[in-house]
Amino acid sequence: MQIDGHTRLAFLLGYPVGHSRSPAMQQAAFRATDLNAVYLPWAVSPAHLRGAVSGLRAMENLLGANVTVPHKEAVVPLLDRLTPDAEAAGAVNTIVPREGALVGDNTDGAGFLIALQDELAVEAADLHVVILGAGGAARAVAMSLARAGACALILANRTRERAERLAREVTSRVPGCRVSVERLHPRWRADASPETGVLVNTTSVGLRPTDPPLFDYESLASPLLVYDLIYHPPETPLVRAAARQGCRAVNGLGMLLHQGAFAFERWTGRPAPLAAMREALRG
Ligand code: ATR
């Protein structure tokens, strides 16, 4: 990679950023498309987020930025405007410079929907989905499914009130989508609503191999499809349990790939080199 006076800059703002695979994935995309640009992890503590966004404004050669934990919601008021996707998600994972303004976008939901199609061969329209969790990731998934025509969502969360709050937000934005709430606990069963087509885990449970099961994994049964947003370890405890029960199950690497591909396209206006990006993620 040659850095010169024309090199464009892209950043990942997060805290920490050391674990992220986005730098490898986006740099591979720049290389594959011969783009004179670099993608750098930028560890920004919450106290310095405002200053970091001012720094982005000062960069006339800014290509764009990604935003990750814990800044996705906190960055919203620091930007000039939001896309409808970011507005619905209440969070930003992609910043796009446009004529001197910083536009907040969110490609997580769109990335999730493409991964669902790609890897589990299901369309959101008319789908019944159980979403485990009610945090920021659950919100992006729930909003994208509802806006894409999912017919019913069950939000199952350890803290019921949080799921109730998210349910109210989803129904106020997409009144046609039926949303119900359950409390998630170790004896919760996935087979209580037989019309459910897909179960999505958005909680952080499974990030550590020692995490106890999130619910009764023996209640998983085909043809239920399982999507775990966690991608490290690649065979998450939920993916392993689901496969043992005969369910098709995938980890969150596809969502990571496609949210990154959409971000690349928003910054550059070019189609994302998916094969190179996927290869970099695997590496
Ligand atoms: P994110 O923005 O990445 O979604 P978050 O807002 O911290 O992260 O949300 C984490 C989700 O994981 C929440 O739904 C949380 O449940 P609570 O709302 O009850 O806190 C869920 N979660 C975390 N640890 C959990 C555990 N041990 N068992 C069940 N759910 C858990």
Please state the atom number of ligand 1 nearest to the C-alpha of residue 138: 4
Among the listed residues 8, 72, 258, 278, the single catalytic one is 72
Residues 45 and 67 in one domain: yes
If asked whether residues 78 and 211 sit together in one domain, one would say: no
Do 12 and 70 fall within a single domain?
yes
154 and 199 share a domain? yes
Mean pLDDT in runs of 10 for the chain (283 residues)? 94 96 98 98 98 98 97 98 96 97 98 97 96 96 97 98 98 96 98 95 92 97 97 93 98 98 98 98 89
Domain count, the chain: 2
Which segments of the chain does DSSP mark as H helices, in order? 22-32, 49-57, 84-89, 108-120, 136-147, 160-173, 237-244, 253-268, 274-282
Tell me: the pLDDT tens digits for 152-187? 999 999 999 999 999 999 999 999 999 999 999 999
Q: What is the CATH number of the domain that holds 94?
A: 3.40.50.10860
Pocket test for ligand 1, best of 131, 203, 238, 255 (most atoms within 8 A of CB): 203
Could you identify the residue written with the tokens 């001197």? 100
pLDDT at residue 87 in the model: 95
Same domain, 60 and 134: no
- Looking at the fold, whether 97 and 24 belong to one and the same domain comes out as yes
Q: Which residues' Cβ are closer than 6 Å to ligand 1?
A: 133-138, 157-159, 162, 184, 202-205, 214
Flag whether 183 is in a domain.
yes
pLDDT tens for each residue of 185-197: 999 999 999 999 9
Q: Is the alpha carbon torsion for 65, 67, 71, 77 positive or negative?
A: positive
The answer on 143 and 201 residing in a single domain is yes
Per-residue pLDDT, 243: 97
Pocket test for ligand 1, best of 71, 204, 255 (most atoms within 8 A of CB): 204
Give yes or no: residues 122 and 247 share one domain: yes
pTM value? 0.96
Domain that holds residue 68: 8-106+256-282
72 counts as catalytic: yes
